[in-house]
Amino acid sequence: MARKHAVSFKLNGKAVDVVVEPRELLIHSLREKLQHTGPHIGCETSHCGACTVDLNGMSVKSCTVLTVQCQDAEVLTIEGFEQSGALHALQEGFTQEHGLQCGYCTPGMITRAYRLLKENPSPSEEEIRYWMAGNLCRCTGYQNIVKAVQYAAKKMSSSRT
Amino acid sequence: MNVRIDRTYSMPCSAEVAWEFLQNLEAVAACMPGAKITERLDAGRYKGTVTVKIGPATMSFRGEVEMRDVDPAARTLRLLAKGTDGAGSSGASMNLTARIETAAGGLCTLAGASEVSMSGRAAAFGGRMVNTVADQILKQFADNFAGQVGALEAQRAAPAAAGGGVPEAAAPVPPSAAGELNGLALAWTIIKDWLRNLFSKTTA
Amino acid sequence: MIPREFEYHAPTTIPDALGLLKQFGDEAKLLAGGHSLLPMMKLRFAQPGHLIDLGRIRELKGIREEGGALRIGAMTTENELIWSKLLQDKCPLLVEGARLISDPQVRYKGTIGGDISHGDPGNDHPALMLVLGASFVLKASTGERVVPAEGFFVGSFATLLQPGEIMTEIRIPVPAPGTGYCYSKLKRKVGDFATAAAAVTLRMKGETVQEVAIALTNVGASVLRARAAEDSLRGKAMNDASIAEAARLAMRICDPAADQRGDAEYKTAMAGEMTQRALRTARSRATR
Amino acid sequence: MAAATDTLERETKLQGLGSSRLRKEDARFIRGRGSYVDDIKLPGMLFGAIVRSPYAHARIKSINKAKALAVPGVVAVLVADDLKPVKLDWMPTLGSDVQAVLADKKVCFQMQEVAMVIAADRYSAADGADAVEVDYEELPAIVDPHMSMAPGAPIIREDIAGKDEVGHGKRTHPNHIFTWEAGDKAGTDAVFANAAVTVREEILNPRVHPCPLETCGCVASFDKVTGQLTVYITSQAPHLVRTVVAMLSGIPESKIRIIGGDIGGGFGNKVPIYPGYVVAIVASIVTGVPIKWIESRIDNISTTGFARDYHGVGELAADKDGRIKALRFTALADHGAFNSHVSATKLPAGLFSICTGSYDIPKAYCRVDAVYTNKAPGGVAYRCSLRVTEAVYLIERMIDVLAQKLNIDKAEIRRRNFVKADKFPYNTSLGWTIDSGNYHAALEKVLKAVDYDGLRKEQAAKRAKGELMGIGVCTFTEIVGAGPTKVCDILGIGLFDSCDIRVNPTGSAIARLGTMSQGQGHATTYAQIIATELGLSSDEIQIEEGDTDKAPYGAGTWGSRSTPVGGAAAAMAARKIRAKAQKIAAHLLEVGEGDLEWEVDRFKVKGNPAQARTMKEIAMAAHTSNLPDGMEKGLDATEYYDPPNMTFPFGAYVCVVDIDRFTGETKVRRFYALDDCGTRINPMIIEGQIHGGLTEALAVAFGQAIPFDENGNHLGNSLMDYFLPTAVETPHWETDHTVTPSPHHPIGAKGVAESPHVGGIPCFSNAVVDAFAHLGVTHMDMPHTAFRVWQLCKALGINKR
C-alpha cells in the first residue's frame, strides 16, 4: 500500500483535510470523503464534464485530478454557489430558462459557466457553445443552457452597474 | 481481430542447424521479444509470459505455448500461443507455422505463416494495429533467431578446428532483445489507436 | 477506472525533479497536465511506480519574448497560450492551434510541453512547432541541451527526449511580420484528435511564395514535414494548380492507420484537403 | 366582466394545465442536492466490481479467486457457482428468456459478467477484480446476425439448445429466437404483383446505446434481522423490479423496497434488470451489509441496454401518381446473446406494426426474425416505444425512395398519402386504431414557415454549382402509452398505471404515482393536471414517485407512457375526488348535486354564484362531522388506469443540411419541428423535451454506432468514439405545434418526449440522402459520419476539386 498523504485545501471557502492514497481522484475525495456529491461521475475518461469543479480559478474535470495535487488549493463546487440563502445568478438562470432536466450534468455545467462568465462577462451564443463544450448534456440539447448562461450574464452585469 | 501474416527470413546457417534449433521451444521462445517461459507443462507445452512496453504503457500477457505437428521431413512445426493480460481484460493468440527451407550457399530460410488474434481491451483500443504489431514481433523474433543459429553454426565450426568432439546443441545464450519487447519498434504499431484513441487529451 | 498504486512526488525546483527522475529511473513518469497519462493509468494500461508532478515548478511557466524569440515555459497551459496577448500579436498560429485542442477544461490543464514530449502523432503542437521552426530546451542533471523541433519526433510516443531529461522551455523565433499562417484541423467533434490536420506558415513576395512550411498531424508514425510539397511551392506563384500539386505531394508521405475516424485512404485524402485549406488561408493572411 | 376576470385570475393562480410553470425539481438540482444512486452511502457499505470477459464467445475452464481474495480490502469474490445455492445464477429477462447473472461455464458476449469482487471501497474492488484469474477457451463468435441461422453456425445458447421456443413461438434454429408477423401477406403480395410501381431498399438501424449521463447502478441493502431488502436503483420501472426480485429471490414482495431516487437520464437504458443489480442483491443477502455497484461508462456502452440493430428491408407498391397501395417491411433483429429486450409479452417486435405511419395504406404485411449473436443482450427502446423508431425510419425513408422513383416532390407525395383528418379514428391495415390526427394542416404550416418552395429553388441553384444541399421532410406518426392491458403485459403484469391522491384538511394534497421521472419533470406536470381537476394550487400539490413502499403499483416511465397512462390516472383519481366533493358541497349548500356547477376551484349554485364552496373549504369539511349521512370521512382517491387505446402523437419536421463534398462533413443549417402531442400540459417542458429528443436524434443520425470486429470485440465503446454531441455540434432548434387532442385520454394528452427522436432521425437521413438525390442516390445507412458521407461522394466521383 502506497504511502498515504494528508492533503489540506479550501473547499467552498472552508479549510478541509483528507488522508488519501496518491492514486485517489479528487472526484472521489469530494464525493466520498467530504460528502460533496454535487459533482458527478459520467464517463471517467474526462469527456463529459459532469465532475467539473473550479480549482484555483480553473474549470477542471475532477475525475482526472489527483487529490494529492490539491494541497493548498481553492476548490469551488456547486455546493458553494448559494450565498446566505441567495441563489447565484446561474442557479436562477438554469431554473428560469429550463436549462436542466435530469439534473445530472447541472452542477458541472453551472460550475463551468461560472468560470466562463468570470473570464467573459458577456459571451455571445457562439462563445458560450465553444467555451461550454467540455460539458455534455443528454437531456436539454443545450439551447436552454445557452439561454440560462445569457440570463445570468445579463443579471450579473446589471447588478455590477 | 484476426490477421494473417506470412514472412520469410534468410538465416545465416544450414537448414539442419536451423531445424534443430527450431525444435528447442525454450530457446525459440527466448527469441520471442518480451517472452519468458515460466513453466514446462509437458513435452512441447509450456506456460509463459509476454510483456509489451510502449511509451508510458505496458501490457503483460500470461498463457501457454505449445509445439505441434513437428514434421522433420518437411522441417515444419506449429507453435500455438495464447494468453490473457494480467488484468484479464485482454486476450491474444498466435497460430504460427514455421518452416525451414534450404537456400543457396548451404544456408536456409525461416518461413513463418501466422494467424494472430486479439480480444478485449487490446482489440478495442489497439486491435487494428495487430497486423503491424505481429509483424514487428516476428521481425525481432527472426533477428534474434538468426543471431542464435548463427552462433550455433559458429560453435559447430569451432570444435572441429579445436579438434574437440561435436558438442550437443548448446543451450543458446538468451538474446539481448528478450525480456521486454522493444518500445520504439512497437510504438507506432500499437499506440496509434490503442492508447490515443481513448485519450483525447493533450499532455502526458 | 481506478489507477494502480504509485508514489507521488511534487518537486518545486527543476533540480529536485531531475534528482527524483534519476533516483527512480524507469519506474518514474513525469506528470504535466495529466490528461493523457491519468486516463491511461485509470485503464491500467500504464502503471508507473512513481509520479513526478511538475505542477509546482514555477520556472516551467510563463511566456516571454527574448532575443527575437518567444520563450514558453513547458508547463504553460493551452488556455494560457490562447489568452496570451504576446502570442496573439506575435504568433497567432499557436493561438489558433491551441483553440482547436480538446475542450475548455482540458485546456486549463493541458500543457504545451506535455503535448510535445508525449510524442503522440495525434497531438497538435508538434506540427505547429515544425512550421514555426521551434526548438526545445531539454534539461538533465548533467546539463541542458537545445534541440530543434525538426528531427525531435522520431516515432509514435518516441522523441529525442531521453529518460532523465525534462523539457523545460519551448523557443520560437518570432515569425517575420506579414507571415501567413493557418492550422486546418478536421475532427469528428470537440475533444477528438484530428482525423487529419495541416499546419502552414507562409511568406509571400508579391504573388510568389518566398518561404513555406507545411506539417501534418495524425497521418503518420509521428508528425510529418511535407518537404516535397514545400519545395513544389517555393519560388513560384501560388494558384489552384500549385496548391493541388502541393496537396498531392503531401498526401504521398501519409501513412495513417484506420480507426473509427476513417480508413487510411480517407485520412490521406483529408491530409491533402487540410493542406489545401491551410495554404489558401495562409495566403489570404500573408502580406504580399 | 368582473366575474370573468376574477375567474381568470383564480385560474392563473392555480398554475394548472397549459401553464409554463417552472419546475419544482430544479431547486435541489441547481444546488447539487439531487439524490442519485451513487450519492447513497449506507453504514458498512461495501463496493462491488465486476470481472468481465475479454472474449465474445468462450468456455470458462477455471476461475481462480485466490489472488483476488489476498488483495487488501477484498471481502468476497462471487462467481456463478456461489449464486446457485440461492438459485440466482440465472434470471428471467423482460423478453421471456433467461440470462446468466454471472457467466456459467460459458461467456456469450464480450464483457459479459463473470464474477463480482466485493471490497471495502471501489479502489480495492478494482484491484481485486484485476486479480481474479479466469482461464478461457475461445470459441468462434457470431457477430453478423445474417450468419446466426447458417447451417453449422456455432450454437450460442447451449443452455436452451433443446427448447423449441423462448416465449414467442417455434424456433427453427438453435440461434433463432422468434419470428413475428402482422398483416395480410397474401393480399399484400397480390398488390405488389400487379402494382404500377414498386420500390425496395435495405435499411439498417445500427446498434446504438441510449447512453444517459448517469450510468446504471444500485445499492442493495438486506437486513438479516428483519428480512427486509431495500434497493436504491437506477430504474425507470421500480415496481417491475420489485416483482422480478421477489420472483427471483423468494423474498416476499412486501419485504422488498425499491427506491428510484433521482435518475440521471434513462432513455430506455434503465428499464431492464441487469446482472449487476442481481449480484449486488445476492452479495448483500450473503454478507448482510449494503453493497454498491456502479457501472463504468465503458461497461455501460458495452453491456447494458443497447438499442436497434434492426436490419430491415422496406418495400412499397404504388400507382403512377405515388399513391401507396401496399407496404411490405421485414427486419432481421439482432438481440445479442440473451433475449432481454424490453417488450410486452404479446408484442415480441414491440410496436413495429406502426410502420404504416401517417399514410392511408390499404394493404400491409410485416415480419421480424429475431436471432442470437455473440453481442451484448437486449434491445431497449432508445427514447421511443419499442421498435417504433425502426418502423418510422423505414416508412419515412421508403416514401422518399418512392418519391424519387416517381420524381414527385417529397412533401407532395406525403400530401397524396396522408390519412385525411375526417377519417379519424383510423384503423390501419396492421390493426392499430389511430386516435386522432390532422396531418395536412401540420405539414402545410411547416412548409410555409420554412418557405419550402424557396428552399427547393435555392437547392436547384446550388446543385447547378455542384454544391450539396439537402432538404429533409418527415411526417411521422408515433405510438405511445403502453398500454391497454389486453395487448400489453410484461411477465403477465398489465401495463396500467396508477395514481393515489390524498387531499389534506387545509386543502393541500399529495399524489403518488407508479411512474418514474428521469428528468421529464413529473413533479411539476402531474401537479398541473391535478390542480386543474381539483382547483387546488399546483404549488400545494406534492408529487411522489419511485418508492415502492409509498407509490401504488405501476409499470414505470418508458415508451412515453407517463402522460398517456400515469397522467390519465392522475386526472381520473382527481375526478373521483371532485365527484365526492360535489356531494359534500351540495350537502353544505343544502341544494341538490344537479344544482351545482364547477368553476375553476369551486362548486357554485347555478344562477346564484354567491352561493359556492371552494375545494379548500370542502377539503376541511370532508374531515369534519358535517358530511352527508353514511359518507366516509376524508378526501382521497386511487385510480388504476387501463387505457382503452394507445395515443398517437404526430409531427411534421423539415431539416436543411449543407454537405462538404471534400470532407464529407454535414452541417445542419436549419431544423424546424412541429409536434402535435394533443393537449399541452406545460409548453416550457414540452419544448425542452423536443430539444433533447432532436439532439439525441442528431447523435444517432450522424455518429452513434457500436462497432465490432469479426470476433465480437468492441471497437468504440468509450466517449472518445461513441458520439454524444457537445454544444458546438448541436444546432439551434426551431419548434412549433398544433393541438389535436386524443379523444380517449381524460385530458386529451398524448405524450411527447419521444416524437423528436423518432421523427428526427429519419428527417436527418432524408436530408442527407436528398442532398444526393439528383445523383441517383436513394439511400445511405446511418451513421452519416464525415467518413461515410465522403465515401459516398467518392463513389459518385464528386470528392475531388
* Residue ranges of domains in chain B: 2-194
Phi, psi of C39 (to 5 degrees): -60, -40
Mutate to test the interface with B, among C53, C111, C156, C261 (most CBs of B within 10 A): C156
Partners of residue D130 in chain B, C-beta under 8 Å: 86-88
Q: Do D18 and D62 sit in the same domain of this protein?
A: no
The set of cell numbers assigned to D59 is: 468456455
At B185 the pLDDT is 37
Give mean pLDDT, residues B156-181. Answer: 47
- Work out the mean pLDDT of chain B and round it to a whole number: 74
Does residue C191 sit at the B interface (CB-CB below 8 Å)?
A: yes
- The pLDDT tens digits of the residues spanning D213-246 come to 999 999 999 999 999 999 999 999 999 999 999 9
Facing residue for D54 by CB, picked from B84, B128, B197: B84
User: For residue B29, what pLDDT band results from cuts at 50, 70 and 90?
Assistant: confident
Report chain D residues whose CB lies below 8 A from the CB of A136: 213, 719, 724, 726
Asked whether residue D243 is assigned to any structural domain, the reply reads yes
Predicted TM-score (pTM) of this structure: 0.94
Supply the ipTM of this predicted assembly: 0.93
Whether the pLDDT of residue B124 is over 50: the answer is yes
Whether residues B198 and A47 touch (CB distance < 8 A) is answered with: no
- Own/partner contacts of B82-85, CB < 8 Å, gap of 24 or more, are B82/D138, B83/B48, B83/B49, B83/B50, B84/B120, B84/D54, B84/D134, B84/D136, B85/B59, B85/B60, B85/B61, B85/B120, B85/B121, B85/B122
Report the residue of chain A nearest B202, measured CA to CA. Answer: A46
In a domain, D400, yes or no: yes
Question: Each residue's pLDDT tens digit in chain A (161 positions)?
Answer: 678 999 999 999 999 999 999 999 999 999 999 999 999 999 989 999 999 999 999 999 999 999 999 999 999 999 999 999 999 999 999 999 999 999 999 999 999 999 999 999 999 999 999 999 999 999 999 999 999 999 999 999 998 76
Mean of pLDDT over chain D:
96
Q: Examine residue D164 and state whether it is found in any structural domain, yes or no.
A: no
Per-residue pLDDT, A118: 98
Residues D168-204 pLDDT 10s: 899 999 999 999 999 999 999 999 999 999 999 999 9
- Measure D752 CA to nearest chain C CA, in Å: 29
Rounded to the nearest angstrom, the minimum Cα separation between D594 and chain A is: 43
Number of domains in chain D: 3
Q: Give me the total of CB pairs closer than 8 Å, taking one residue from chain B and one from chain D.
A: 62
pLDDT digits (tens, 9 = 90+) for D394-414: 999 999 999 999 999 999 999
D277 and D363 part of one domain: no
B7-to-B4, B50, B145, D55 alpha-carbon distances in Å: 10, 21, 14, 28
**Counting Cβ atoms within 10 Å, is residue D591 exposed (0-12), middle (13-18) or buried (19+)?**
middle
C chain contacts of residue D668, beta-carbon cutoff 8 Å:
none
Contact map slice: D 86-145 vs C, CB within 8 A: 122-123, 126-127, 130
Instruction: Check CB contact under 8 Å for C39 and B201.
Output: yes
Residue B203 has pLDDT above 80, yes or no: no
Max CA separation in chain A (angstroms) = 56
Does residue D709 contact residue C173 with C-beta atoms inside 8 Å? no
pLDDT under 70: residue ranges of chain D: 1-2
Residue B166 clears pLDDT 90, i.e. is over it: no
Q: How far apart are CA C82 and CA C97, in angstroms?
A: 9
Inter-chain residue contact D134 with B124, CB threshold 8 Å: no
Cα dist from A38 to A41, A79, D236, whole Å: 10, 7, 22
For residue B134, what pLDDT band results from cuts at 50, 70 and 90?
A: low
Domains and CATH numbers, chain A: 5-80 (3.10.20.30), 89-160 (1.10.150.120)
Chain D residues touching residue B118 (CB < 8 angstroms): 713
Neighbours of chain D (3+ CB pairs under 8 A): A, B, C
Angle subtended at Cα D350 by Cα D346 and Cα D353, rounded to the nearest 5 degrees: 100
Using a CB-CB cut-off of 8 Å, the residues of chain D touching B120 are 53-55, 110, 713
- Inform me whether the pLDDT recorded for B172 exceeds 60: no
The span from the CA of B17 to the CA of D132, in Å, is 43
Beta strands in chain C (DSSP E): 7-9, 28-31, 50-53, 63-66, 69-73, 135-140, 143-148, 153-155, 158-159, 165-173, 180-186, 196-205, 208-217, 224-225
D530 found inside a domain: yes
Nearest to D559 by CA among D527, D516, D526, D530: D516
Q: Closest Cα of chain B to C155: distance in Å?
A: 6
Cell of B189: 504499431
Identify the CATH number of the domain in which residue D121 sits: 3.90.1170.50
Q: How many angstroms separate the CA atoms of A45 and C101, rounded?
A: 16
For β-strands D197-208 and D176-183, DSSP reports them as unpaired
Q: Which residues of D touch B200 (CB under 8 A)?
A: 720
Residue after which a domain boundary falls, among D619, D641, D663: D641
* B2-194 CATH, one of 3.40.50.300, 3.30.70.270, 1.10.760.10, 3.30.530.20: 3.30.530.20
Residues 575-614 of D with CB under 8 A from A: none
One-letter identity of residue D609: P
Q: Work out the minimum CA distance from C97 to partner chain A, whole angstroms.
A: 15
Do D441 and D314 lie in a common domain?
A: yes
- Which member of D130, D787, D799 has the closest CB to residue C261? D787
- Residue D116 lies in domain: 37-139+215-263+270-303
Q: Which residues of chain C have pLDDT under 50?
A: none
Classify residue D184: in a domain, yes or no: no
Question: Is residue D146 assigned to a domain?
Answer: no
B200 touches chain A (CB under 8 A): yes
Q: Sketch out chain C's domains with CATH numbers.
A: 7-54 (3.30.43.10), 62-173 (3.30.465.10), 195-283 (3.30.390.50)
D531 and D675: one domain? no
Helix (H, G, I), strand (E, B) or coil at B155: helix
* Nearest neighbour of C2 by CB, restricted to D126, D729, D785: D126
Q: Any idea which residue has 461560472 for its cell? A: A114
Residue C259 Cα, gap to closest chain B Cα (Å): 7
Q: Which chains touch C (3 or more CB pairs under 8 A)?
A: A, B, D
pLDDT at B186 over 50: no
Active site amino acids of D: 236, 383-384, 754
